[in-house]
Each structure stands twice: as C-alpha cells, then as structure tokens.
Amino acid sequence: MANIVPFFTIIPLFTAFAISLLGRIFKNAFIHTLSIVSQFILLVLSLLSSVLLHRFVDGKILVYKIGGWIPPFGICMVLDGLSSFMLVTVNLLAFFVAIYSLNYMNKYTDKPKFFTLFFLMLTGMNGVIVTGDLFNLYVFLEIASIAGYALVAFGTEAEELEASFKYAVMGSVASAFIFIGIAFLYGFVSTLNMADMARILGTKTNQWVLPFVSALFFMGFGLKAALVPFHAWLPDAHPSAPASISAMLSGVLIKALGIYALARILFNIFGILPVYSKILMFLGALSMLVAVVLALSQWDLKRLLAYHSISQIGYIALGIGLGTPLGILGGLYHLFNHSIFKSLLFLNSGAIDYAINSRDLKDMSGLRERMPITYHTNLIASMSIAGIPPFNGFFSKLIIIIACIQSGYITYAIAAVVGSLLTLASFMKVQKFAFLGELKEKYRDAKEVPLAMQLSMVVLSIICITGGLLLLPSLRYFLDNAVNVLLDGSNYANRVLETALK
C-alpha cells in the first residue's frame, strides 16, 4: 500500500526525461499523449490515495522507506491527510493546465522544452509534499524553483528575462536562508528526518535555537509564498510567464513551496507556539490588505491577478495561523478554492491574450460578444474570488472570518471583510473594461479560443460552482484529515515513527 507514495515523483520525473529525450524525434502528437496520459495517471493516483487513506489505512498515514532504511537513518516519504489534500490540489490543477497548454503553447516555439520544465516543476512540488526529510524537502524545493525560474523566462522577451532574473536572485537568497535554517536545526538535533527532529526537539528543555531558525524559515518560505514584506518578485514574475504557467505558479507553486512547507515545519516539527501563529496571522493580514490596495490601481490584467494572489495567500496564512480547528479548516479550504479560481482567472487572461494579443485593460472592451465562454467562466471565477454566496470562495472566506471572531481577533475579521470588498471592486473593474461595453472595431474578428482551452476553463468553473459541496458531511473527510494533521502538532513524530517501524 505504501508503495504508491514514490510514484508521485517518479511519474512526472520519468515523463520529463522521456519528453526531453524523445520530443525531438517524434511529432507533437506523441508529446501531447504522453503528457496528458501521465498527468491523468497522477490525478487518478492522488484521488485514489485520498480515498484509500481515509477508508482502509489505520491512523491515516502511509510511510514509504526509500531503500528499506528505517526513518532516522534513511529518507522516508510520508503520505498523511495533509499531503494527500495537497497532492489532489496540485495534480487536479496540473491536469487542467496541461490540457490548456496543448493549444495555448502554439503561441510559443518549443513545446518539448515547455513540457519538460512543466513536469520537472510538478516533480518538485509533489516531492515537497510527500517527503519526510527536511533536506530532501530543500532539494525538491530547488527543483521546483529552478524549473519555475526557467519557465518565467520561457518567452525570452526583454521583460520576461528581467522578471526571471529578479525572481531567480531573490529565490536563491531565500533558498540560502532556508538552507542555513536547516543547518542550524541539524546542528541542534543531529538529524534531518522531520519526524525524528520533532521527537528530539520534544525531549530538549532549552530550545534556544528555535526562534532564530524560525525567523530564517519565515524569511525563506515567506519569500517563496510571497507574503507581504517579501512579495516584490511576484507581480513581475507571474505575469511574465506563459498564462498556463502563471496559473501553476499562482495556483499551486507558492502554496506547495511556501505555505505547505512553512505550516508543516511550524506545526508538525516545532509544535506551534503562540508567537509563530501571531507572526503568521500578522503577515497574512498585512498581505491581505496591502496587496489588494496595490491591485486596485493596476491596468495590466495579469499583473492585477498577480497582486490578488498575494492578497489571497494572506487569507490562507491568516486562517492557518489562527491555529484553531475552524481557522485551519478555513485556511486549507481557501487554499484549495484559491488554486482553482485563481488559475481559472489566469487561464482566462491567457485566452484573451491568445485571441486579441493584449493584456492591457484599457485596450480591450466588449469581448463578451466574441468570447462567450471566456466571459462566463471569468464571471464565475471573479465572483468566487470576491466571495459571492453560492460560489466556493464565499464559504472559505466566511469560515476564516467566523474563526477570527471566535478566537477574538475582531480586527483581523474586519480586515478580511475589507479585503474581500476591495477584491470585489477590482474584479468589477476587470468585468467592466474587458468584457462589457462597446466592442472595439479592431477586435471585430476576435475568435473564441480552441476546444482544449475552452474545456479546461469550463471544467474549472464547474469546480468553482460545486466547490462548496466539499463541506458536506460525506465529503468533509478530505478537508478534515488535512486539518487533523496540523492540529496533531508534534504528535506527527510518533505517528510517522510508529508506522515506519511496523
């Protein structure tokens, strides 16, 4: 049963190398089939693992020992509720982005290289999620980041190169901070296994190294997650990438590399202390407000969306930082919802770019008539992100706000409501300038995008509408298992070590 865990990294890694080796020889059809098939297998595997984990596994945790070595000595891979939640989110999105890219990437020249980098990034993200070893986490984080730097520069235009350079330099400095943090932690506990680390930290009475290490991790992972004081690279990097990659970067990369890794370390290794959760909540509330104000004045469609990514990451950090069951539920649920609607919005912007070759809101108008599917899916996604009732964004924001009030943080609750209203305002601006109004003469012959792009946009918008169903009692386990892992705190160590020794 535990043998399915390594396949989440093996399949994309294998696909990446197969495409880079054979892509030159075979036609595009081969690349398309290979990437869709392997992405589909990943999606099925992640959904299956989520269901199996809930139904058939005692303790809801699977540990795979690489090479048969017992955890403190060898690297292990851990699949628990939180990992399987993140895996479903990442692979669900990657599947639709891969479908979208089949047509969209015709704008660019080199499809084999694109899919190679895409799958390498996926390897990195899946690896970060399933790994149970802190240094291994760093390695996978670097794989995903390096593929991300290269994908941002994929168009090799002047702006894209500039953004990629900025992103690469800041990302490398962040990685250096993470690495030094890991080094200090290793010097203190003499192990790199996450579960063993948590166990040894629990036995030490004087944890003088933790404040310093957690400051380094806040800087490092905070920069990867683009929380506000560390956000400067995101509004340049995400709009510059091809739209499908913007969707992946904004949708899942900042969450898998930033929020997930930070939450895993703070909650499961350090055992959450009130100080950390206060810092996390403060950073979250700050990002929520600052970024949404900056977003209001943007006229570049993708740049506006990128600022909203920072703001929505703030909601997630606030929810998880609360540390109460309801708060974590809201944070993780918003993580899932945000990955769906934000990537849908980026795919919409890519569709507009594909049809009329422009990203400037002042330049476009009245596209509703020419691109009905893009218009309707964009409307759904806009209402989701703004938190209009029947859509998924409403429920997660509501849970976060209720959780804030419940734990007595009224200021943060008000900040969340204000952020939500400003989000609504800026998306009304997008609707008004992009889709409503007079159709301009030069866009008279703008065409709706090809079928594969339409398909992935429509399916994602259906998930936006039905996302609220995840709160139903029969489907709640998907979220609840993830929440329980974080609530368990340092008990993670015992569960992993016990399962591994079985």
* CA trace torsion 184, 188, 191, 194 (10° rounding): -70
The CB-of-136 to another protein minimum distance in angstroms stands at 9
Does the protein bind another protein through residue 127 (CB under 8 A)?
A: no
Does the protein bind another protein through residue 172 (CB under 8 A)?
A: yes
Interface residue with another protein among 116, 123, 164, 374 (CB under 8 A) is 164
* Distance, CA of 328 to CA of 120 (rounded, Å): 30
Nearer to another protein, 26 or 299 (CB): 299
Between vectors from CA 361 to CA 358 and to CA 366, what angle results, nearest 5°? 90
Query: Could you tell me if 152 and 190 are in contact, meaning their C-beta atoms sit under 8 angstroms apart?
Result: no
Which residues, other chains included, contact 263 with Cβ-Cβ below 8 Å and sequence gap of 6+?
82, 320, 486
Backbone angles phi, psi at 227, to 5 degrees: -70, 160
Interface residue with another protein among 112, 127, 235, 489 (CB under 8 A) is 235
Task: State the DSSP code for 260.
Answer: I
For the chain, give the number of residues: 502
Between vectors from CA 171 to CA 169 and to CA 177, what angle results, nearest 5°? 105
Residue 357: other Cβ atoms inside 10 A: 10
Does the protein bind another protein through residue 475 (CB under 8 A)?
A: no
Nearer to another protein, 30 or 186 (CB): 186
Nearer to another protein, 304 or 415 (CB): 304
Give the interface segment with another protein, choosing from 84-92, 122-130, 146-154, 444-452 (CB under 8 A): 146-154
Query: Could you tell me if 132 and 194 are in contact, meaning their C-beta atoms sit under 8 angstroms apart?
Result: yes
**CA end-to-end distance (rounded Å), the chain:** 13
DSSP string, 436-494: SSPPPGGGTT--PPPHHHHHHHHHHHHHHHHGGGGGSTTTTHHHHHHHHHHHHTTHHHH
Residue type, 138: Y
Nearer to another protein, 80 or 142 (CB): 142
Query: Could you tell me if 419 and 62 are in contact, meaning their C-beta atoms sit under 8 angstroms apart?
Result: no
* Distance, CA of 156 to CA of 148 (rounded, Å): 14
Interface residue with another protein among 183, 215, 451, 462 (CB under 8 A) is 183
Query: Could you tell me if 461 and 453 are in contact, meaning their C-beta atoms sit under 8 angstroms apart?
Result: no
Nearer to another protein, 163 or 399 (CB): 163
Interface residue with another protein among 40, 108, 179, 212 (CB under 8 A) is 179
Does the protein bind another protein through residue 216 (CB under 8 A)?
A: no
Interface residue with another protein among 142, 196, 480, 488 (CB under 8 A) is 142
Does the protein bind another protein through residue 146 (CB under 8 A)?
A: yes
Interface residue with another protein among 80, 196, 236, 488 (CB under 8 A) is 236
Nearer to another protein, 156 or 411 (CB): 156
Interface residue with another protein among 27, 158, 208, 441 (CB under 8 A) is 158
The CB-of-157 to another protein minimum distance in angstroms stands at 8
Give the interface segment with another protein, choosing from 96-104, 149-157, 341-349, 361-369 (CB under 8 A): 149-157
The CB-of-165 to another protein minimum distance in angstroms stands at 5
Does the protein bind another protein through residue 501 (CB under 8 A)?
A: no
Nearer to another protein, 31 or 150 (CB): 150
CA distances from 384 to 274, 350, 392, 396, 397 (A): 32, 19, 6, 10, 10
Does the protein bind another protein through residue 150 (CB under 8 A)?
A: yes
HSE value, Cβ hemisphere, 13 Å, CA-based, for 168: 15
Give the interface segment with another protein, choosing from 38-46, 154-162, 381-389, 424-432 (CB under 8 A): 154-162
Does the protein bind another protein through residue 165 (CB under 8 A)?
A: yes
Does the protein bind another protein through residue 135 (CB under 8 A)?
A: yes
Interface residue with another protein among 14, 186, 212, 282 (CB under 8 A) is 186
Does the protein bind another protein through residue 162 (CB under 8 A)?
A: yes
The CB-of-358 to another protein minimum distance in angstroms stands at 17
Interface residue with another protein among 149, 333, 477, 492 (CB under 8 A) is 149
Does the protein bind another protein through residue 187 (CB under 8 A)?
A: yes
Give the interface segment with another protein, choosing from 175-183, 437-445, 448-456, 458-466 (CB under 8 A): 175-183
Residue 363: other Cβ atoms inside 10 A: 16
The CB-of-169 to another protein minimum distance in angstroms stands at 6
**Residue with tokens 């990294």, as numbered in its chain:** 9
Residue 491: other Cβ atoms inside 10 A: 14
Sites of contact with another protein (CB under 8 A):
135, 138-139, 142, 146, 149-150, 153, 156-159, 161-166, 168-169, 172-173, 176, 179-180, 183, 186-187, 192, 235-236, 240
